[in-house]
Every structure is written in structure tokens, then in C-alpha cells.
């Protein structure tokens, strides 16, 4: 779409004092939620134009009541399983309508709820900023126009380059009960005697800390590509972040060892902290390259331009097309089982969030698509009772053989499993169930 800026309606879920609303156009009206108090301190020059109570609201009636009569060229809704921002009656508008899914890696029915909401309104496209690995669910459910928009919410706060940095690890973010993995890692850093500064800060304060500290630590909540990845790079910090699943897309954006550094577990985290404390110039080289890569390729303004060209001109760069997830063909073929598959995935995903790592044993007869679904849970050890040549071939075709292990019955009986998944009620035929802390039965034949 060329010429004047498009007329845009943005329905924004987040507290603008924590995450500022996207500025998609100079001709934009932003509808935000009426929060009791601010969650954090972030300068927000683009406060919402219209405030509504959290929950469901009629978009057309809301705009008319506010005196906004212009016909929009684009409607963008940011929503999540918080169930706080649910505009309805989108069918009253004839323009493209985009649903951007917020966090789908935690909360109650995060994926299932968003699928339900997406189906309930005439959305033309669906996107995710934090959870690329979940877009295959929307494609399989029939939403053909999907995209990944990483870093689109990140405020760029560049800092002066510092060669001399404090010999410390810094973390800025939440460490509450929701963040068991992160809590465990921070505790390990402190117990190892590493100088650690951890807590919350404003966006500008965080940028200062990232730029003056030798190591900027990040640990995702639950395998998500979070904002902190980009915030550290924006400030010129040395990013040391957890290694995500291939489906999450981190390595599509950044080169570990060049733009950032990654770790698999607590032991590797401590090893890399020790290495870079001994070799600070190596950390600085990576920090400098990471900042350059971020400013060249990943600024939020570039993502906004991408979004507009995608929805208004039909042009989507190949790298942000989620069809690169090779599980998609199998997921689509089993689309009739999506409600059950999603429920099972969300159960395991939540178990992963609550623990540092979990083990899942899958019994014979479990559908191939439902095995593949679990592969992107990076801290979940997924094993399947074998041999199973057909499954092995399917995993190889989807390039996920390394994310699912085959285990013989005798070996499965030698250890305990956090979760055992089965399709049969006949426990006697599956003696390995006795080694499961939790056994989950699913009837795929019944839906």
C-alpha cells in the first residue's frame, strides 16, 4: 500500500507503562485496557487513545462512542490467554484484521484459548512474537496467513560503548513463582560465588546495566524467545541466554558464539560464565557483533514495516514464514485431533514450566503428530517405546530425530519417568507404566 499512512486500529492488551503499544501508523487509534495501577516504569509517549474495561468489548460500538468514525485500513489485536483484550464484532469492518498472540508458553489453555478466539472472529492473519514453535497449530487449524514477528515490542535504547565493564553477571526481570527454571539458574550462579546483580529495573536502567556488566544473563520462562534477548543486544550487552528448540527460531536470528552465547543447562551456564570472565575480550567481541546484528536486522521499526507490507501489500519475507516448521504436513493431516493434541501439549508444557526439566515416555500407539508436537519442549526429554521404524522415518523427514529418543522396553523399565503417555487402558500390557510418576491416557479414536 503506497501513499499516505494507513488508518490503523490497534487493540492493545499490555499495560503501556510496561510494554508500550506498537506505533504502526501516524493515523492510528489505540484502544487499551483500564488498569488499576502501572506494572512497571517505562516512558510511554503513545498512551492509548481509548480505555476499556478488561474482557470482551464490541469494537465498532467502542469506536463510535469515542467519536472515531474513520474506516480503518488495518485492525491489529494483541491478545492472549489472559482473556483481558477480546474485541468482538470485527466483522463490521472490511479491512484486513490481524491477531497477534501474546504468551502461549504459559497460563491456562494458552494455545487452545487463542485458537478458539481466532476462530470466533473473522481474522485474516495470525502472528506470534515470542512463540514461533506454536504457529504450526494455527496453520494446521486452517489459518493460512501466519507470520513470526520477533522483537516487534522491544524499545531500542542504545548505550555508549564500554570497553571496561564490571566483572559481574546481571539479570533484569521477574524471578517470581512462575519462573522455576530461572530461579534455579540464578541460585546456581550465586552459590558458585559469581558476582550477581539481579532484580527489576526500568527499561533505561536495564540498558545501563547491560552495557556496563560483563555478562547479561537470560533464562526464558518456558522455552520462549523473550524481549530480553533483544533488549540486551540493543544496549550493547553480552547476551548469555538459554538454548531454545530449533522451532523457537533463536538461531534463525542470531549466531551463537558470534552474536550471543547460549547454554543448555546449569552446568554449561556456569562453565561459560567462568570462561568469559577469564576471557572478557571474547565477550566484548560477541557483544559488539550482537549489537551490530540487532541494529541492522532486528529493530522494532523494521518489524513494523514488515507487518504493514505483509498485511497491506501481501509481501512476507521468507525467514518469518512459519511453514519452515517441517512438522506442519503431519500436523495438518491430524487436524481433526487438534483439540486433544493441544490439551496434551499444554499439560506437558506446563509441567516443564514448573520444573527444571522433565521426562516423558510415550507408549506404542501414540499418533505420530502428537509425538512431534512435544519435540519443541526444549527442557522435556521425550522418549518413545521402540523399535518404531515408521515413526523414526517420520521424525527424520521433519528434521527432529535429535529431539525424540527411542528406548527399548528393558531400558524404559530401568528408570523413573515424570509422565507416561498411553492410548490403552490395559495397564498389564504396559509394565513400564509402573515407573511413571503420572500416567496420562488419551483416546485419540474418540477425538
What is the pLDDT, as a whole number, of residue 44?
60
Question: What CATH class has 7-151+301-314?
Answer: alpha beta
Is the Cβ–Cβ distance between 90 and 75 less than 8 Å?
yes
Q: For the chain, what are the domain ranges?
A: 7-151+301-314, 166-297, 338-441
What is the pLDDT, as a whole number, of residue 18?
87
Two domains, one topology: 7-151+301-314 and 166-297: yes
Is the Cβ–Cβ distance between 383 and 359 less than 8 Å?
yes
Summarize pLDDT for 172-224 with one digit per residue, the tens: 999 999 999 999 999 999 999 999 999 999 999 999 999 999 999 999 999 99
Question: What CATH class has 166-297?
Answer: alpha beta
Residues with pLDDT less than 70, the chain: 1-3, 37-45, 447
Largest CA distance in the chain: 71
Question: Which CATH topology does 338-441 take?
Answer: Rossmann fold (3.40.50)
Q: What does each C-alpha distance from 156 to 23, 289, 291, 347 come to in angstroms?
A: 13, 16, 11, 36
Summarize pLDDT for 168-183 with one digit per residue, the tens: 999 999 999 999 999 9
Residue ranges in 165-323 assigned as alpha helix (H): 180-191, 203-212, 227-234, 250-253, 266-278, 280-297, 300-313
Show the 3-state SS of 100-161. EECCCCCCCCHHHHHHHHHHHCCCCEEEECCCHHHHHHHHHCCCCCEEECCCCCCCCCCCCC
Q: What does each C-alpha distance from 418 to 36, 108, 378 come to in angstroms?
A: 40, 21, 15
What is the pLDDT, as a whole number, of residue 4?
81
Question: Which residues are bridge partners to 30 per DSSP?
Answer: 10
Amino acid at each position: 500500500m503506497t501513499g499516505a499512512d494507513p488508518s490503523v486500529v490497534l487493540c492493545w492488551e499490555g499495560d503501556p507503562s510496561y510494554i508500550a503499544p506498537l506505533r504502526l501508523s501516524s493515523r492510528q487509534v489505540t484502544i487499551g485496557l483500564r488498569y488499576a495501577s502501572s506494572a512497571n516504569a517505562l516512558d510511554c509517549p503513545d498512551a492509548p487513545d481509548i480505555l476499556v474495561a478488561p474482557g470482551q468489548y464490541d469494537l465498532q460500538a467502542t469506536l463510535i462512542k469515542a467519536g472515531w468514525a474513520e474506516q480503518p485500513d488495518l485492525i491489529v489485536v494483541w491478545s492472549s490467554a489472559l482473556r483481558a483484550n477480546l474485541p468482538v464484532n470485527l466483522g463490521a469492518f472490511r479491512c484486513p484484521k490481524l491477531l497477534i498472540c501474546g504468551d502461549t508458553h504459559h497460563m491456562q489453555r494458552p494455545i487452545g484459548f487463542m485458537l478458539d478466539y481466532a476462530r470466533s472472529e473473522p481474522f485474516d492473519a495470525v502472528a506470534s512474537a515470542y512463540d514461533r514453535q506454536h504457529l504450526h497449530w494455527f496453520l494446521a487449524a486452517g489459518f493460512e496467513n501466519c507470520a513470526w514477528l520477533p522483537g516487534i515490542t522491544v524499545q531500542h535504547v542504545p548505550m555508549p560503548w564500554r570497553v571496561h565493564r564490571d566483572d559481574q553477571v546481571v539479570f533484569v526481570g521477574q524471578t517470581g513463582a512462575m519462573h522455576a527454571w530461572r530461579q534455579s539458574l540464578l541460585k546456581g550462579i550465586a552459590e558458585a560465588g559469581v558476582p550477581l546483580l539481579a532484580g527489576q529495573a526500568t527499561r533505561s536502567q536495564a540498558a545501563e546495566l547491560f552495557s556496563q556488566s560483563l555478562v547479561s544473563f537470560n533464562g526464558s520462562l518456558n522455552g520462549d524467545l523473550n524481549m530480553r534477548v533483544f533488549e540486551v543486544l540493543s544496549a550493547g550487552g553480552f547476551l548469555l541466554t538459554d538454548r531454545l528448540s530449533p522451532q523457537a527460531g533463536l538461531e534463525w536470528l542470531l549466531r551463537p558464539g558470534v552474536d550471543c552465547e547460549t547454554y543448555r543447562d546449569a552446568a554449561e551456564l556456569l562453565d561459560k560464565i567462568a570462561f568469559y570472565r577469564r576471557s572478557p575480550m571474547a565477550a566484548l567481541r560477541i557483544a559488539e557483533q550482537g549489537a551490530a546484528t540487532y541494529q541492522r536486522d532486528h529493530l522494532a521499526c523494521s518489524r513494523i514495516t514488515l507487518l504493514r507490507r505483509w498485511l497491506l501489500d501481501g509481501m512476507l519475507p521468507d525467514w518469518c514464514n512459519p511453514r519452515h516448521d517441517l512438522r506442519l504436513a503431519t500436523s495438518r493431516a491430524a487436524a481433526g485431533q487438534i483439540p486433544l493434541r493441544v490439551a496434551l501439549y499444554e499439560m506437558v508444557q506446563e509441567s516443564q514450566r514448573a520444573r527444571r526439566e522433565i521426562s516423558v515416555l510415550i507408549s506404542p500407539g501414540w499418533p505420530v503428530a502428537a509425538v512431534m508436537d512435544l519435540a519443541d519442549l526444549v527442557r522435556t526429554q521425550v522418549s518413545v517405546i521402540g523399535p518404531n521404524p515408521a515413526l523414526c522415518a517420520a521424525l527424520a523427514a521433519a528434521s527432529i530425530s535429535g529431539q525424540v529418543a527411542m528406548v527399548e522396553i528393558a531400558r524404559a523399565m530401568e528408570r523413573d519417568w515424570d509422565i507416561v503417555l498411553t492410548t490403552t487402558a490395559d495397564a498389564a500390557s504396559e509394565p513400564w507404566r509402573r515407573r511413571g510418576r503420572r500416567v496420562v491416557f488419551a483416546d485419540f479414536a474418540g477425538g
